[in-house]
Structure 1
Amino acid sequence: MTALPPSASADSEPSALSAGGLTASMQALLQSQFGGAPRPVTAPAPTPPAPEPQTGDEWPLAARTLIDSLIRENIRLKADIKALTEQVALAEHHADHDVLTPTLNRRAFLRDLGRAMGDGRRYGDPACLIYLDLDGFKAINDSYGHAAGDKALIHIAERLNANVREGDSVGRLGGDEFAILLRHADISVARSKAQKLEAELNIATFEHQGLYLRVGGSFGVRAYEGQASAEEWIAEADAAMFLVKKSSR
């Protein structure tokens, strides 16, 4: 056992504690045993609280203004794109359709004829053309005016559209002349369709100023047989129609 030095006896030990919480004698003992004074123990620093998530209220005013501007611009662009899409669709419709009747115009109908001819050459798909010239149309125009004539044309177009299949085409070639393209149909099917249409037009009426008027038609049928052009195919169907009209007089 190590003897305490005289200066460190219990009788002479001061009552006051040192800054580290130890008496002078305790510090001397520790120094003699371990070669140094104890280091003061420090408490760990408190952990700072986690930052609260931002709700947007803390964002700078400039950032919120920019975001609002981008949202408004996005809404405006969507509206512009929708309007432009509708305008393009309307322009395409006007480019392909007759200005008066719900049928294709001559240009678009010739395009469909060309496609059917191409399918016939490449794959052997049959197709037939029905050519229609109205009977009594001039008399309606002369007797009741052009408004009645327009109603007659619309009436005929609606009856033709109601009697064709999806994939067939109905076109107004000019004046009171219409044509029907029957895809995947041979000459017997086309002739049967023409007879049905002729019978329906002979009994169907349309109203004009309280009067119920009727307009008929003469039909010519021509199958695709390797004609050189769509115009040639139409001319052959027109000639067939003329023979029918001539024989019925």
Structure 2
Amino acid sequence: MRIGRLDQSGSTRAAGETKRTSSSSSSTAAGTAAAPRDAASIMGVPEPELTPNVQRALLTLMGEVDQLRQETEKLRTRVRELESLADHDAMLPVLNRRAFVREVSKALALAERHNAPSALVFFDLNGFKAINDTHGHAAGDVALHHVVSLIASHLRETDAIGRLGGDEFGVVLTLSTQSAAETKAQQLAALIADTPFEHEGKALQVGAAWGVWPLEAGMTTDVALAEADAAMYANKAAIKERAAS
């Protein structure tokens, strides 16, 4: 029957078309799958363009970038070292005067903002000049290191110690009352006087006079340092008077 033949041939054509369509779809899918590979890139350069010359140039560039990173890190480390040197005494492991004054300012700001006073202690060594004159400046240097080590080992992490002059030192006792600071200063002075140090086989000793001044709201760093210094000299005079009587 014609209808039958038409149906059969139509089915055959349909099948052929279906097969061709399927093949075409497969080719399209394969092309689509291949597209990402064609679009792949390294550092923004498509893969087909990665000729040997381009690859060598990219490797050189990557090496230069890595070298710049290393040099930048070295510079950062050096900056940190210089900042540390700028804040520390040239001979002793304590803050220099400029950096210590900054710590006093921080304590005063804490008192101003939070009504949390701290205290400033001023130390001056007794007998230091005699050691320099009798045993030489090397012995004096040992004495300074000895005193700094004793004081620093009995302070908290929140406290600060700095060298204010030849044999003068300042200590900020954070969040300490004047009474507590005076007790602490007296203990440190006794520790210094009772702990000898050795130089060239000889046991030597120094003493320490001290003065305390509270770091309270409304005060300036200059006033605080001057008042603590004055309190220290009053204490030093009292020590000499007791020794003479």
Q: TM-score range by the shorter chain?
A: 0.7 to 0.9
Q: Offset of 1:209 from its aligned partner?
A: 2.3
- Could you tell me which of 224, 228, 232 is aligned with 2:223? 232
Gaps of 5+ in 1: 1-33, 35-40
The total of aligned residue pairs comes to 211
User: Aligned residue for 1:77?
Assistant: 68
Residue 62 of structure 1 pairs with residue 53 of structure 2: yes
Please identify which structure carries the higher helix content.
2
**2:97–2:164 contact (8 Å) kept in structure 1:** yes
Q: Offset of 1:246 from its aligned partner?
A: 1.1
Residue 140 of structure 1 pairs with residue 109 of structure 2: no
Q: Given residue 120 of structure 1, which amino acid in structure 2 is its aligned partner?
A: A
**1:227–1:233 contact (8 Å) kept in structure 2:** no
Stretch moving more, 211-220 or 226-235: 226-235
Query: Alignment identity in percent?
Result: 38
- Could you tell me which of 158, 172, 175 is aligned with 2:163? 172
Gaps of 5+ in 2: 1-8, 10-15, 41-46, 241-245
* C-alpha spacing 1:238/1:247, structure 2 compared with 1 (3 Å): same
Separation of aligned partners in 2, 1:227 and 1:235: 15
Residue 241 of structure 1 pairs with residue 228 of structure 2: no
Residue 127 of structure 1 pairs with residue 118 of structure 2: yes
* C-alpha spacing 1:236/1:129, structure 2 compared with 1 (3 Å): same
Separation of aligned partners in 2, 1:193 and 1:228: 22
User: Aligned residue for 1:207?
Assistant: 198
Indicate the SS of the match to 1:174. Answer: coil
Q: Offset of 1:227 from its aligned partner?
A: 5.8
Q: Offset of 1:247 from its aligned partner?
A: 1.2
User: Aligned residue for 2:143?
Assistant: 152
Q: Offset of 1:219 from its aligned partner?
A: 1.0
User: Aligned residue for 2:209?
Assistant: 218
User: Aligned residue for 2:105?
Assistant: 114
Equivalences for 1:26-37 in 2 at 5 Å?
Answer: none
User: Aligned residue for 1:105?
Assistant: 96
Indicate the SS of the match to 2:172. Answer: strand
Separation of aligned partners in 1, 2:219 and 2:189: 29
Separation of aligned partners in 1, 2:75 and 2:199: 38
Separation of aligned partners in 1, 2:222 and 2:239: 26
Indicate the SS of the match to 2:185. Answer: helix
Q: Which has the larger radius of gyration?
A: 1
**TM-score of the pair, normalised by structure 2:** 0.76
Separation of aligned partners in 2, 1:227 and 1:200: 33
Separation of aligned partners in 1, 2:130 and 2:63: 60
User: Aligned residue for 1:96?
Assistant: 87
**TM-score of the pair, normalised by structure 1:** 0.75
User: Aligned residue for 1:183?
Assistant: 174
Could you report, residue by residue, the CA deviation over 1:63-89 in whole angstroms, capped at 9, with x for unpaired residues? 221221122112211211111111110
Could you report, residue by residue, the CA deviation over 1:183-236 in whole angstroms, capped at 9, with x for unpaired residues? 111012101111110121112233322333222211111112456421211111
Could you report, residue by residue, the CA deviation over 1:5-57 in whole angstroms, capped at 9, with x for unpaired residues? xxxxxxxxxxxxxxxxxxxxxxxxxxxxx9xxxxxx9x989x79998999x9x
